[in-house]
């Protein structure tokens, strides 16, 4: 007897309806499945019905002016190999490369990563730094939320029962960088990670930290300390101090709190300088 | 749906797998239904790459893929890799480099490298290739000869 029933709707509306059958906890949406299937097998997630999103027309990557819209079920590998994404959003490229390996990224999706809301997600800190918006489709229609209001905690999101991530939007290209510390470059979890991005339109930085609990977070004090496009050494040290001191960094089996705070400081320094140089550290 | 038929093109031939349970992984369908034991189960959580196969030419972790999700696709396993010119070159490179110790990780490495070379061409930088292959693990730690095989496969004429 299979542990769940697989449902494969043909349209977004059918998918929303399929998720609403039975109890809210009884259904799970399957995008690439690289995170969900492991959790289903281990019993960390239970679902009677798994709703596959593979037939939905959301494997898209669109530019409208400066706005990039990434379809919720676009495989991460497509995002990674797109030269324009790499040029306009370097941090997004760095973060996608940090997820698993190529064989995993051929199936894993941005919508899946956001919807599963792992506290150690590599993509969430970058989407915070890039001020991305999440477009949702559900029983009550469409709505959009900034990533900061979409991710609520460890494995907790603002998704209502039956709601799906249709796309993720980033409004403007931003010089940016994402740096992480971990043991293996592929298929490992970042102990600590820092994403920084500069908006020329707003003349402001955004700084986010990952590998913290309960979820990746913006560090506004660090962004304020950086000020304008070319921070002085003093500003930069103040920003790095803000990340190292204020981020909710804790110890676990992967690394001590002290180590993580020290690495967070260094990653912040390197990431900002990399953005200024227009490349990676 | 609870246990329905799945149609695949498996190593170039059309295959019908009857009564595949909804929650079955492609890894298990390949090994226990199609009898293709070359694809190996390592960690079963996407961390080791031993179960890598090609789905429509793209490297894919068969342990984290539902068989029903690849309905209608072309699946290539280590048993069929030599039917593809790039796959044959990779297999021969592993043989020439002696890049096989216990052999458990080898099918995954061969499929992953075949997928990468098909996707990105032989002009892809060696550093880039090695970073991408670092998601495959060799528990014998026989990496030196595997790296030699990667170099041979990348340099060999198609």
pLDDT tens, position by position, B27-47:
999 999 999 999 999 999 999
Distance (Å) from the alpha carbon of A236 to chain B's nearest alpha carbon: 31
Percent with pLDDT over 90 in chain A: 85
Residues in chain A: 281
CATH number of A5-52: 3.30.43
Average pLDDT on B57-61 reads 98
Q: Name which residue leads in pLDDT, A16 or A186.
A: A16
Give B107's contacts (C-beta < 8 A, 6+ positions apart).
B38, B39, B40, B50, B52, B77, B78
Give A115-156 pLDDT, tens digit per residue: 999 999 999 999 999 999 999 999 999 999 999 999 999 999
pLDDT at A184: 79
Q: Name which residue leads in pLDDT, A281 or A258.
A: A258
Give A93-108 pLDDT, tens digit per residue: 999 999 999 999 999 9
Residues in chain B: 158
* pLDDT category of residue A281 using cuts at 50, 70 and 90: very low
Instruction: Flag whether residue B121 sits within 8 Å of chain A, measured between CB atoms.
Output: no
Instruction: Flag whether residue B47 sits within 8 Å of chain A, measured between CB atoms.
Output: yes
pLDDT at B158: 53
ipTM over 0.85: yes
Of A50, A100, A106, the CB nearest to B58: A106
pLDDT at B1: 52
Give B8-32 pLDDT, tens digit per residue: 999 999 999 999 999 999 999 999 9
CATH number of B83-155: 1.10.150.120
pLDDT at A139: 95
CATH number of A176-277: 3.30.390.50
Q: How many CB pairs under 8 A join A and B?
A: 97
Helix, strand, coil content of chain B in percent (nearest 5): 45, 20, 35
Give A271's contacts (C-beta < 8 A, 6+ positions apart).
A177, A178, A179, A194, A195, A196, A281
Domain boundaries, chain B: 3-80, 83-155
Distance CA B111, CA B80 (A): 10
pLDDT at A1: 65
Query: Residue B70: which of B84, B51, B56 has the closest Cα?
Result: B56
**Which chain B residues are closer than 8 Å to A33 by Cβ?**
64-66, 69
**Which chain B residues are closer than 8 Å to A36 by Cβ?**
none
Per-residue buried b or exposed e for B25-63, using 16+ beta carbons within 10 Å of the residue's own CB: bbbbbbbebbebebbbebebbbbbbbbbbbbebbbbbbb
Distance (Å) from the alpha carbon of A52 to chain B's nearest alpha carbon: 8
In the predicted structure, residue A280 carries a pLDDT above the cut 60: no
Environment class of residue A248 by beta-carbon count within 10 Å: exposed (0-12), middle (13-18) or buried (19+)?
exposed
CB A32 within 8 A of CB A109: yes
Average pLDDT score, chain A: 94
Give A18-56 pLDDT, tens digit per residue: 998 877 678 999 999 999 999 998 899 999 999 999 999
Average pLDDT on A225-230 reads 93
* pLDDT category of residue B156 using cuts at 50, 70 and 90: confident
Fold of A61-170: 3.30.465
Dihedral angle, C-alpha A104, A79, A191, A188, nearest 10 °? 20
In the predicted structure, residue A17 carries a pLDDT above the cut 70: yes
Q: Tokens 């977004």 belong to which residue?
A: A12
Give A202's contacts (C-beta < 8 A, 6+ positions apart).
none
CATH number of B3-80: 3.10.20.30
CATH 3.30.465.10 residue ranges for chain A = 61-170
**Which chain A residues are closer than 8 Å to B119 by Cβ?**
81, 102
pLDDT at A94: 95
Q: How far is CA A173 from the centre of its chain?
A: 17
* pLDDT category of residue A183 using cuts at 50, 70 and 90: confident
CB B18 within 8 A of CB B37: no
Distance CA A68, CA A159 (A): 22
pLDDT at A277: 86
* Residue contact A41–B66, C-beta within 8 A: no
DSSP H/E element including A139: none
**A164 to A132, A135, A175, B114: CA distances (angstroms):** 16, 9, 30, 35
**Which chain B residues are closer than 8 Å to A101 by Cβ?**
49, 112, 132-136
- Provide the 3-class DSSP secondary structure of residue A166: strand
């Amino acid at each position: 007897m299979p542990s769940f029933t697989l449902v494969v709707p043909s349209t977004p509306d059918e998918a929303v309806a399929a998720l609403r059958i039975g109890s809210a906890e009884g259904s799970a949406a399957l995008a690439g499945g690289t995170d969900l299937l492991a959790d289903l097998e281990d019993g960390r997630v239970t679902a009677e019905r798994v709703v596959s999103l593979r037939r939905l027309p959301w494997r898209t990557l669109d530019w409208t002016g400066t706005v990039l819209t990434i379809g919720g079920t676009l495989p991460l590998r497509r995002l990674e190999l797109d030269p324009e994404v790499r040029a306009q959003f370097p941090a997004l490229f760095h973060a996608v490369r940090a997820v698993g390996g190529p064989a995993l990224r051929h199936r894993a999706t941005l919508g899946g990563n956001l919807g599963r809301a792992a506290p150690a997600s590599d993509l969430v800190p970058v989407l915070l730094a890039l001020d991305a918006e999440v477009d949702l489709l559900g029983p009550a229609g469409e709505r959009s939320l900034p990533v900061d209001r979409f991710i609520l905690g460890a494995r907790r999101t603002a998704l209502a029962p039956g709601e799906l991530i249709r796309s993720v939007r980033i409004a403007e290209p931003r010089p940016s960088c994402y740096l992480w510390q971990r043991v293996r470059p592929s298929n490992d979890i970042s102990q600590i990670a820092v994403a920084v991005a500069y908006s020329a339109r707003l003349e402001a930085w955004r700084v986010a930290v990952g590998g913290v609990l309960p979820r990746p977070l913006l560090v506004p004090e660090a962004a304020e300390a950086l000020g304008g496009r070319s921070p002085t050494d003093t500003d930069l040290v103040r920003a790095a101090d803000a990340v190292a001191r204020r981020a909710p960094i804790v110890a676990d089996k992967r690394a001590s709190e002290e180590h993580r705070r020290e690495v967070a400081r260094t990653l912040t320094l390197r990431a900002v300088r990399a953005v200024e140089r227009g490349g990676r550290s | 749906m609870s246990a329905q038929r799945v149609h695949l093109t498996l190593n170039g031939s059309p295959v019908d797998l009857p009564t595949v349970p909804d929650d079955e992984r492609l890894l298990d369908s390949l090994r226990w239904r199609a009898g293709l034991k070359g694809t190996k189960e390592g960690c079963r959580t996407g961390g080791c790459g031993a179960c890598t196969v090609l789905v429509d030419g793209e490297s894919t972790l068969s342990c984290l893929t539902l068989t029903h999700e690849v309905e209608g696709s072309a699946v290539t396993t280590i048993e069929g890799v030599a039917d593809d010119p790039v796959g044959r070159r990779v297999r021969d490179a592993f043989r020439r480099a002696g890049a096989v110790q216990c052999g458990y990780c080898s099918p995954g490495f061969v499929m992953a490298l075949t997928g990468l070379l098909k996707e990105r061409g032989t002009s892809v930088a060696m550093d880039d290739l090695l970073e991408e292959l670092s998601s495959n693990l060799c528990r014998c730690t026989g990496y030196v000869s595997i790296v030699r095989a990667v170099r041979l496969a990348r340099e060999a004429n198609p």
